[in-house]
Structure 1
Amino acid sequence: MITQAPNYRRRKLADQLMRGLTIGATLLALVPLFLILGYVLVRGASALNLAFFTQAYEPPVVELNGAVGNAGGVLHGIIGSLMIVGIALLMALPIGILAAVFLSEYPSNSIATVVRFCTDVLSAAPSIVIGVVAYVLIVQRTHQFSALAGSVALAVLMIPVITRTTEEILKLVPSTMREAAVALGAPKWWLTLTVILPTALSGIVTGVLLAFARATGETAPLLLTVLGNNNVSFKLLEPMAALPLLTYKYTDTPFPAQNTLAWGTALVLTLLVLTVNITVRWATRRRMK
């Protein structure tokens, strides 16, 4: 008995239809991204000049003809963001890496299961909740808004990203390298420090960059902890400016010059996050090759 061959034409049409739907859905998902990037680029490009990066806040000056003059730049926000996020990264880096080493090297431990679950929950926690907790535990107790409180809040957001990313990277280290080090008599801590971590270094850097990108654009925790400052400040125990705070603050003012600065800071933040993500993708792809 000869069975009838499958309808090749029908299968080909179905394949082309599904390919078309997949491509269409992908393009549809990219439309909002390009609209946001294009709109921010058009509105914010006019604010980017030398004064934007080299001057701090200046009160808007109303000229004789009624026009509002330049409102300065965002140097204080750039310095504040670098300090706040940098200190948060210094806090989160050792905690996240050590937690990832524990989860990777002792995966069946009951404590590791609890830590992994808590990390997953924390990674999905809204940033405003982290900001409220930091406000209650730090700001209310010290009676002072400060850059340090903002760094602590951002560090809490960074830790789960670094932990989970580093854990997955450490799992990719070949077991033969561990066995070879153990065969040579290396203890567990020396094996981790001199073999596993250096081997996974590029992947760890990738996780750190992702955590940095997420924390850089966060606004809600900073509103409740840092508050903001109109001057260039290097004091961690006092309020400090940050680019997300300036974007929020300048958007809600009636002065066009400050509205332009808001779009400029939004563009700088967008380009910064986009650059970090592209760098991570490039580094990951290069590592896989």
Structure 2
Amino acid sequence: MSNRYKKAQIATVIGIVVNLLLAVLKTFGGILGNSRALIADAVHSASDVISSIAVLVGIRAAQKPPDSEHPYGHGKSENVATLIVAILLVIVGFEIIYNAILSVVNGTVESNTSMIALYIIIFSIVVKEALFQYKFRLGTRIKSPALVADAWHHRSDAISSIVALFGIGLSIIGASFGIPYLGYLDPAASAIIALIIMYMGYKLAKEAVSMSLEVVLNDSETETMHETVLAVDKVRQIDRLIARSHGSYVIVDIKISVDADISVEEGHHIARVVKQMLLRNHEEVKDVNVHVNPY
């Protein structure tokens, strides 16, 4: 197992354990504290557990070596995991909105939210933001789209917890000062949380689909690759260089021109050096296909 995948797996397992504990804590806190917003936040944390498991499966699949059916490797497995996370976010968000509306329509809004819900939500905000910072920085460093997606899931949970904090806080104030209508802010906060969750799911799904379509890197992103190839001895020019994303890594297809009077063996050696230099100097490059043309 590569160091990259090992780090990603450790981060994902940590996220699963923390989210599971938070989901249980928020559920009991929401029930005991009569807070629909906190229960909605508990559902969000539970969805984090499911999404982290999906990410873990995707990361493990992505490290499999190339085979006859997947000659460029299994890098897109991480994008599939990201898409699963996105779909879960949208489904969870819709369910929370539905329950919030139902509580208002049926008049089942609680007006006696207790302080325990407030303490739990503050604790959750601190923990989730810490998880976001840890996973986002690691995912960016090791170029893991699934881990970055999971990090944003933690950030969306932290944001939703802040919304829940306002809803719960104002609901408690309403109960303390005899303002029953403030009790509606608790389910309203849960609905806002749901919208945040759904929007985050949309963004992640859009990014996952884009990555799965093998986006070609632009000229500025491949400029250093051109410099690397042109620095190779006896490469006269680059006829074409296409670098395309393949999940968390990049595949390069390149055509180079060399002197027409050299031997096939020498041309093959130059192509091999070009491939080695691109792999050595650009850690995001997983494979290189070199075609040699006469100059």
TM-score by length of 2: 0.28
Structure ranking higher on relative contact order (CA contacts 8 Å, 6+ apart): 1
Kindly indicate which of the two structures has a greater share of residues assigned to strand: 2
**TM-score, normalised to structure 1's length?**
0.29
